[in-house]
Structure 1
Amino acid sequence: MAPVAASRKPATTNTSGHPALTALYQLGGEGDPKIVEGIYDQWASSYDSDILGDDHGYVGPQTAVRALVRAGVTPLSHILDAGCGTGLVGVYLAQAGYVEVDGIDLSPAMLKQAEKTNSYKALKTVDLTRNIPVPDAVYDGLTCVGTLTHGHVGPRVLNEFVRVVKPNGVIVATVLEDIWDDGFEAETQQLAKDKKVDILGMDIEPYRAGAGVCARTLVMRRR
């Protein structure tokens, strides 16, 4: 399957004026990993208080975990939280009873925050613009929340997500609604056409609810 290039059209999504988020969104398309890493390393200590505040009202993590549960992924499953950041998804996974969760992220400083949540079995620095350094068919489920957005990671990563989950494994990824047409929908449909996945859902749901920003909750089951 040929990779789909990420668009570099200017970001128009509401950032509520936050300087780090504005800088990230202005990168457009698939941003330079070194620049992205630097922004998140500086933002890590205040990320949770900023993004969960009223200006942003970040609800993506709980939305994704609910989708994973609805898809029938049991608490005994081995989960990869790709782009785990400070561990907000890991906290909700732990609350839902998941105990075998690995996290990967570009930013070492964000991973240090994630470690403090005690929600992960293993944490590792990984650049999602490259191949994920794990064998095929390792995980029962995968979450990716907050990473498929302006200036971050392009649609090619969806194929990597499919590769690292087992047959019948479930992938739940939030895709910012403003970039869904920038290759993500096409990549999703191609994965289904190639009979690699069954698409279980692509609903538009609140994401940064306080800023009026929505995302697709993409749910796929690997064949």
Structure 2
Amino acid sequence: MPKPDLDSAYALGDAEETKEFYRDWAETYDESFAEARGYASPREVAQVFRAAEGDNTPVLDIGAGTGLLGEALQGLVIDALDLSPEMLEVARGKGVYRSLMTGDLTGPLDIPSESYGGLVSTGTFTHGHVGAVCLAELWRIARPDALFVCTVIADVLDSAGFGSALAQMVARGQITPVAFHEFDIYDKPEGDHGTDRALIMQFRKYG
């Protein structure tokens, strides 16, 4: 397996490779990546989500990892979903989630329809190993008027098909028009990718 670092994460392929990669990174992820780089995505997504009108709970943290976004949304009723059981074990120790579930976004999720009033994510749709195929299943488990607040990299928005898929969902009346918020991914700009920027996608499911 490649060394656990940002460049290797961007290069991941299928779900099995991703699962093995984050198994090896789980114990050191917060310190070696989030703290060392000043990873700002959890804070930025939480701010956008909290600023939205309505209750928007319960919340599903998609690709929750070690629970950084859960910590930023502490106080809300929130569940965690991730491919890596090892990452979820780290998240469990933070005590911010109601429940923790393993699941693969590229296939069906073992979650009842219309379960969540909010769906959030940081990082899951930024590497390209999870494509737009997941949107239909996420739409299924969202309640009418559910709020989606998720990060995406501009290149992946196009290459992984998110842009066209979201446009079709808007045209079909499935979701509201998508609002985008651009932000700096890292508070510490030194090092590789230090000045990278990302987008937060914000939209709602129509009832």
TM-score, length-scaled by structure 1: 0.83
After superposition, what is the alpha-carbon deviation per residue over 1:77-125, rounded to whole angstroms, capped at 9, x for unaligned? 211111000000000110xx31x21101000110000001100010011
Q: What is residue 213 of structure 1 aligned with on the other side?
A: 196
Q: How is 1:135-150 mapped onto 2 (pairs within 5 angstroms)?
A: 135-150=112-127
Per the TM alignment, residue 152 of structure 1 is displaced from its structure 2 partner at its CA by 2.5
* Letter aligned with residue 34 of structure 1: E
Aligned residues, how many?
A: 198
Distance across 2 between alignment mates of 1:26 and 1:148? 13
Q: What is residue 31 of structure 2 aligned with on the other side?
A: 49
**Paired residue secondary structure (1:148):** coil
Residue ranges of structure 2 left out of the alignment (5+ in a row)? 189-193
Per the TM alignment, residue 140 of structure 1 is displaced from its structure 2 partner at its CA by 0.6
Contact 1:180 1:216 (8 Å CA) reproduced? no
Selected match of 1:84 from 61, 64, 74: 64
Selected match of 1:188 from 166, 172, 197: 166
Q: What is residue 37 of structure 1 aligned with on the other side?
A: 19
Per the TM alignment, residue 144 of structure 1 is displaced from its structure 2 partner at its CA by 1.3
Per the TM alignment, residue 158 of structure 1 is displaced from its structure 2 partner at its CA by 2.2
Higher relative contact order (CA 8 A, sep 6+): 1
Selected match of 1:93 from 73, 80, 89: 73
TM-score, length-scaled by structure 2: 0.89
**Paired residue secondary structure (2:201):** strand
Bigger mean CA deviation after superposition, 34-43 or 127-136 = 127-136
Contact 1:141 1:169 (8 Å CA) reproduced? yes
Q: What is residue 8 of structure 1 aligned with on the other side?
A: none
Distance across 2 between alignment mates of 1:209 and 1:164? 33
Consecutive aligned runs of 4 or more in structure 1 exceeding 3 Å deviation: none
The answer to whether 1:179 aligns with 2:156 is: yes
The answer to whether 1:24 aligns with 2:6 is: no
Contact 1:84 1:105 (8 Å CA) reproduced? yes
Q: What is residue 91 of structure 2 aligned with on the other side?
A: 114
Selected match of 1:72 from 53, 62, 65: 53
Per the TM alignment, residue 151 of structure 1 is displaced from its structure 2 partner at its CA by 4.4
Per the TM alignment, residue 68 of structure 1 is displaced from its structure 2 partner at its CA by 1.1
Distance across 2 between alignment mates of 1:209 and 1:157? 30
Q: 1:208 to 1:132 in 2, by over 3 A?
A: farther
Q: 1:150 to 1:101 in 2, by over 3 A?
A: same
Residue ranges of structure 1 left out of the alignment (5+ in a row)? 1-17
Q: 1:52 to 1:221 in 2, by over 3 A?
A: same
Identity of paired residues, percent? 33
After superposition, what is the alpha-carbon deviation per residue over 1:4-58, rounded to whole angstroms, capped at 9, x for unaligned? xxxxxxxxxxxxxx7432222223xxx211110111010001101122234x321
Per the TM alignment, residue 209 of structure 1 is displaced from its structure 2 partner at its CA by 4.2
Q: What is residue 165 of structure 1 aligned with on the other side?
A: 142
Contact 1:168 1:221 (8 Å CA) reproduced? yes
